């Protein structure tokens, strides 16, 4: 019993900050609570949900968020694996190299988000200058809706790849080196080693990085808010940003809560599916090894 008492303060705080808001959102989503009602919650018989289902802007934002999450997480995993493989070699100044590659991850997102705005600035930023002198054409990386989202993906990859690389590096260091030596004796090439030893044994770590990053990328907010403000033409707007606009710009708390609880339900099912897929893949990989 005294053991549980030690656990209690931490648990109460977790419930207050994680569970309470969800219940509050669930309740608010069935109420009108906006400037129109004088910021008083009035039941509105599911009108928020009706609006939610028919809200084209939300669904567009959801597609944008998913597109952002999938592209950036895939790229981060591939790049993170490459970086982990580089850092896993015996290097001079290894600690220094590792800390330098960690710096992008440690800086506040907003600090570099504005830095990116300058680097991708049209026409004065370095990228645009290169494009102008190389191709004779401006890229307009943040002003063109079909390109701007890729620019935000790039900034996200830059920031979070170190995190993925670290997880994968820890995974690489658990693989016993005699596996590689045995494979080399059998005449296996480096490529075969990578495909048949490294990747299967790294699967749990890949799955872990994938799950964490997908969940984080789904809630992308800081980067987009500062770098593009959701523009141009709301092409980079994420669902978190849309919920934020609804709450603090349009002062419609009821609808904002609906967006958040709706997105939460969606994300939970997404993570559940990802987890199932990973478990199946892991079991299958284990099966291959058993043979």
Partner 1 sequence: MARDHGGAKSGCRSLRKMKAARFMIIALLIWSLGPLAWQLYTSFCTDQALVTPFASLDQRWTLVHYQSVLNSNPPFIRYLFNSLFAGVVSTVLTLLLAIPASYSLSKLGKRSALFFKCLLIGCALFPYVLLFLALLEIARYLQLGNSLIALAIPYAALSQPLAVLLLTNAFSDLPPELEDAARVEGLSVLQRFRWVLLPLISPAIASTAILVFLFSWNEYPIALTWISDSDQLTLPVAMARIAGSSIHSVPYGPYAAATVIGSIPLIILVMVFQKPIVSGLTTGAIKG
CA distance 30 to 45: 6
**Shortest distance, position 66 Cβ to partner 1, whole Å:** 13
**Shortest distance, position 168 Cβ to partner 1, whole Å:** 10
Enumerate long-range contacts of 14-20, CB under 8 Å, 24 or more apart.
Answer: none
Contact 24, 15 (CB under 8 A): no
Q: Spell 201-238 as b/e; 16+ CB within 10 A means b.
A: bbbebbbbbbbebbbebbebebbbbbbbebebebbbbb
Q: CB nearer to partner 1: give 74 or 190.
A: 190
**Shortest distance, position 107 Cβ to partner 1, whole Å:** 6
Q: CB nearer to partner 1: give 135 or 290.
A: 135
Q: CB nearer to partner 1: give 162 or 290.
A: 162
Q: CB nearer to partner 1: give 149 or 253.
A: 253
CA distance 140 to 181: 51
Give the residue from 58, 210, 223, 79 showing the smallest Cα distance to 149.
Answer: 223
For 30: left if phi > 0, alpha if psi spans -120 to 50, otherwise beta; the answer is: alpha
**Shortest distance, position 256 Cβ to partner 1, whole Å:** 6
Q: CB nearer to partner 1: give 5 or 290.
A: 5
E strands, the chain, are: 31-32, 42-43
**Shortest distance, position 206 Cβ to partner 1, whole Å:** 12
Contact 258, 49 (CB under 8 A): yes
**Shortest distance, position 53 Cβ to partner 1, whole Å:** 19
Q: CB nearer to partner 1: give 185 or 290.
A: 185
């Amino acid at each position: 019993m005294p053991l549980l008492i030690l656990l209690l303060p931490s648990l109460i705080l977790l419930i207050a900050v994680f569970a309470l808001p969800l219940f509050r959102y669930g309740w608010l989503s069935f109420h009108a609570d906006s400037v129109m009602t004088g910021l008083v919650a009035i039941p509105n018989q599911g009108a928020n949900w009706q609006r939610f289902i028919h809200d084209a802007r939300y669904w567009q934002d959801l597609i944008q968020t998913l597109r952002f999450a999938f592209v950036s997480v895939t790229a981060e995993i591939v790049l993170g694996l490459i970086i982990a493989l580089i850092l896993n070699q015996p290097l001079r100044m290894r600690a220094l190299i590792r800390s330098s590659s960690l710096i992008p991850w440690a800086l506040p997102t907003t600090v570099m988000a504005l830095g990116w705005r300058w680097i991708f600035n049209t026409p004065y930023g370095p990228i645009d200058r290169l494009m102008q002198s190389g191709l004779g054409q401006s890229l307009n990386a943040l002003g063109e809706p079909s390109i701007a989202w890729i620019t935000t993906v790039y900034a996200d990859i830059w920031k979070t790849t170190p995190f993925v690389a670290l997880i994968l590096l820890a995974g690489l260091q658990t693989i016993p080196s005699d596996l590689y030596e045995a494979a080399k004796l059998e005449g296996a090439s480096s490529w075969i080693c990578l495909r048949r030893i490294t990747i299967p044994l790294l699967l749990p770590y890949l799955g872990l990085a994938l799950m964490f990053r997908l969940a984080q990328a789904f809630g992308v907010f800081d980067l987009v808010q500062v770098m593009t403000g959701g523009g141009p033409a709301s092409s980079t707007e994420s669902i978190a940003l849309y919920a934020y606009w609804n709450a603090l710009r349009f002062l419609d708390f009821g609808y904002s809560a609906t967006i958040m609880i709706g997105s939460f339900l969606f994300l939970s099912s997404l993570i559940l599916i990802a987890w199932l897929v990973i478990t199946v893949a892991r079991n299958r990989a284990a099966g291959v090894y058993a043979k």
